[in-house]
Amino acid sequence: MSKKPANNNLPSLQELQQLQRNLPKLPDSMDPQKKRLIYGLLAVFAVIVLIIGLVYVSKNGVDGLLGSDTTTSATDEEETTVATETLAEVKNPYKAVDPATALAPDLATAKSELASLQVKDRASKAGYSRDQFGPAWDDVDGNKCNTRDDILRRDLTNVRFKVRTHACTVISGTLADPYTGKTIEFKRGKKTSSAVQIDHVVALSNAWQTGAQDLTAEQRRQLANDPENLLAADGPANQQKSDADASEWLPSNTAYRCTYVARQVHVKAKYKLWVTADEKKVMERVLNSCKDTNPTKK
């Protein structure tokens, strides 16, 4: 933890009280109308100062207003310096996400599921927002860890956790990135966490435009947090993908394309979403190019 100096741009409580005592009294001979105007302006000024003080306290605490130093909790940038432990050292770890959720169905199943999907044009994006899919990284499986940390724990190796979080808060680890084929060292922090992001294999915006509008709020919440639809991936690659479907974006790592498409097909079949004609053509082409009958290992 670091010490943060008090903000000296605002007066302390003692200074405000002294200022109030030192306000000049208006002479009795002054015109009553002018007196009322001046007192009214002073009252408005006092209200403004009070509002500023309340906002400051809400952000910095009472100690900052009183002029004393305040201690801040560890920030994202400081997370890499906190005490950590390996899974072997964790006492009573919370339940982990099933590693099998990182896999996709075998080739025959993927082709069968693709054949079952409806083919339609994308619906309007009107009404879409991330909120339509519930709170981000909600703990839908009830294991007391948020979904983002669940997927980091599943997909990274050499994982270290923040102590006393029961193997929930992932501080660092190594990702064999499926989208680019690169090896990425993950370190939790404001400037470093974005190197590894959690991708929705079927992007939520795409899902909204291909049938998720008709799902219930709970079904959309499950879709957004379903480990089968989530994958730790290279941050820039995830940003490049955005909400593209398979006809618009595929991983640059060609060795992973069969698995990627099979997972997309499976998620769309699971939640009864549809595909566009162009999307289905690309999916069929990719699956037909797979030489292994079970190419869908992570």
State the pLDDT at residue 294: 66
State the pLDDT at residue 191: 95
Residue 228, both tokens: 């089968």
Tokens 């390996």 belong to 86
Mean pLDDT score, 192-220: 99
State the pLDDT at residue 297: 52
Residue 271: helix, strand or coil by DSSP?
A: coil
State the pLDDT at residue 291: 84
Global pTM reads: 0.73
CA 12 – CA 65 distance, rounded (Å):
6
CA 209 – CA 286 distance, rounded (Å):
23
Share of the chain above pLDDT 70, in %: 72
CA 86 – CA 163 distance, rounded (Å):
9
Q: How many CB atoms lie within 10 A of CB 8?
A: 9
- Average pLDDT of the chain, as a whole number: 84
CA 154 – CA 117 distance, rounded (Å):
29
CA 106 – CA 104 distance, rounded (Å):
7
The answer for residues whose C-beta is within 8 angstroms of residue 182's C-beta and 6 or more apart is 234
First vs last C-alpha separation in the chain: 39
Share of the chain above pLDDT 90, in %: 70
* β-bridge mates for residue 183, sequence order: 176
State the pLDDT at residue 295: 61
State the pLDDT at residue 5: 41
Domain boundaries, the chain: 3-71, 78-289
Q: Is the pLDDT of residue 196 over 80?
A: yes
CA 215 – CA 165 distance, rounded (Å):
34
Tens digit of each residue's pLDDT (9 = 90 or more) over 137-186: 999 999 999 999 999 999 999 999 999 999 999 999 999 999 999 999 99
Query: Predicted confidence band at 45 (pLDDT cuts at 50, 70, 90)?
Result: low
Q: Is the pLDDT of residue 28 over 60?
A: yes
Residue 44, both tokens: 């408005």
CA 112 – CA 131 distance, rounded (Å):
33
Residue 235 and residue 265 in contact, taking contact as beta carbons nearer than 8 Å: no
State the pLDDT at residue 220: 99
Q: Is the pLDDT of residue 3 over 90?
A: no
CA 35 – CA 40 distance, rounded (Å):
8
Tens digit of each residue's pLDDT (9 = 90 or more) over 85-128: 999 999 999 999 999 999 999 999 999 999 999 999 999 999 99
CA 37 – CA 42 distance, rounded (Å):
9
